[in-house]
Amino acid sequence: MNEFAVIQRFFTTQKISRSDVFCGIGDDAAIITPPVNQQIIMTTDTLVSNVHFPADTSPYDIGFKSLAVNLSDLAAMGATPAWITMALTLPEIHETWLTEFSRGFFTLATEHQAQLIGGDLTRGPLTITIQAHGLIPRGQAIQRNTAKPGDLIYVTNTIGDAALALAVLQKKFKLTDDDQQTVFTKLHRPTPQIKIGEQLRGVASAAIDISDGLAADLGHILEKSAVGAEINVDLIPLSAALRHLEKDKAIQFALSGGDDYELCFTVPVDKKNHVPKNCTCIGTITNTNELDLRFSNGIKYDLHQTGYQHF
Amino acid sequence: MNEFAVIQRFFTTQKISRSDVFCGIGDDAAIITPPVNQQIIMTTDTLVSNVHFPADTSPYDIGFKSLAVNLSDLAAMGATPAWITMALTLPEIHETWLTEFSRGFFTLATEHQAQLIGGDLTRGPLTITIQAHGLIPRGQAIQRNTAKPGDLIYVTNTIGDAALALAVLQKKFKLTDDDQQTVFTKLHRPTPQIKIGEQLRGVASAAIDISDGLAADLGHILEKSAVGAEINVDLIPLSAALRHLEKDKAIQFALSGGDDYELCFTVPVDKKNHVPKNCTCIGTITNTNELDLRFSNGIKYDLHQTGYQHF
Give me the residues of A, 38-67, that contact B with CB < 8 A: 38-46, 48-52
Which residues 6+ apart lie within 8 Å of B273 measured at CB?
A: none
pLDDT for res B1: 84
The SS3 call for residue A223 is: helix
> Superfamily assignment of A3-137 in CATH?
PurM-like, N-terminal domain (3.30.1330.10)
Residues 85-124 of A with CB under 8 A from B: 85-87, 89-90, 92-93, 117-124
Distances (CA, A) of A260 to A59, A65, A118, A238, B200: 20, 11, 28, 12, 48
Chain B contact probe: residue of A4, A25, A28 with most B CBs at under 10 A: A28
Sign of CA dihedral A196, A200, A204, A210: positive
Dist CA B7 CA A170 (whole Å): 30
Domain with CATH 3.30.1330.10 in chain A: 3-137
Q: What is the pLDDT of residue A15?
A: 86
CB-CB neighbors (< 8 A) of A53 in chain B: none
Environment class of residue B178 by beta-carbon count within 10 Å: exposed (0-12), middle (13-18) or buried (19+)?
A: exposed
pLDDT score for A307: 57
pLDDT score, position B307: 58
Query: Is the torsion defined by CA of B142, B145, B149, B153 positive or negative?
Result: positive
- Predicted pLDDT at A215: 96
The verdict on a CB contact (< 8 Å) between B6 and A41 is no
Q: How confident is the model at residue B311 (pLDDT cuts 50, 70, 90)?
A: low
Read off the pLDDT of residues B9-36 as tens digits, 9 standing for 90 and up.
999 989 889 999 999 999 999 999 999 9
What is the rounded average pLDDT for all residues in chain B? 95
Task: For the beta carbon of residue B127, count every other beta carbon within 10 angstroms.
Answer: 27
Q: Please report the DSSP string for B178-231 in residue order.
A: HHHHHHHHHHHS----HHHHHHTTTT-SEEEE-SS-HHHHHHHHHHHHT-EEEE
Closest chain A residue by Cα to residue B92: A311
Q: Note the pLDDT of residue A309.
A: 61
Query: Measured between beta carbons, which residues in chain B are less than 8 angstroms from residue A124?
Result: 46, 48-51, 125, 127
Q: Which positions 221-260 of B are in contact with A (Cβ < 8 Å)? A: 224
Q: Which residues in chain B are classed under CATH 3.90.650.10? A: 152-294
Distance of alpha carbon A25 from alpha carbon A48, whole angstroms: 24
- Type of residue found at A275: V
A92: which chain B residues are within 8 Å (Cβ-Cβ)? 311
**What is residue B196's predicted lDDT score, i.e. its pLDDT?**
98
Region B118-146: mean pLDDT is: 97
Reported confidence tier of residue B306, pLDDT bands at 50, 70, 90 = low
From residue A284, give the alpha-carbon distance in Å to each of A78, A143, A161, B68, B221: 21, 18, 23, 47, 59
**In the prediction, which pLDDT does A98 show?**
97
Provide the CATH topology of domain A152-294. Answer: Phosphoribosyl-aminoimidazole Synthetase; Chain A, domain 2 (3.90.650)
Chain B residues touching residue A76 (CB < 8 angstroms): 28-29
What is the rounded CA–CA span in Å between residue A124 and residue A93?
11
Q: How far apart are CA B35 and CA B29, in angstroms?
A: 19
**Closest Cα of chain B to A299: distance in Å?**
31
pLDDT at A310 (0 to 100)? 58
pLDDT at B241: 95
DSSP category for residue B302: -
Going by their DSSP bridges, the two strands B80-90 and B127-137 should be labelled as antiparallel
For residues B61-68, give the mean pLDDT.
Answer: 98
* Residue segments in chain A with a per-residue pLDDT below the cut of 50: none
What mean pLDDT do residues B264-280 have?
98
CA dist., res. B46 & res. B52, Å (int): 9
Query: Given CB atoms, is B140 within the 8 Å cutoff of chain A?
Result: no
At B209-222, the pLDDT tens digits run 999 999 999 999 99
Q: Residue B123: closest CA among chain A residues belongs to which residue?
A: A310
- Shortest distance, CA A198 to any CA of chain B (angstroms): 15
Neighbour count for residue B201 (Cβ, 10 Å): 17
Per-residue pLDDT band at B310 (split at 50, 70, 90):
low
For residue B126, pLDDT over 80 is answered with yes
| B12 touching chain A per CB within 8 A | no
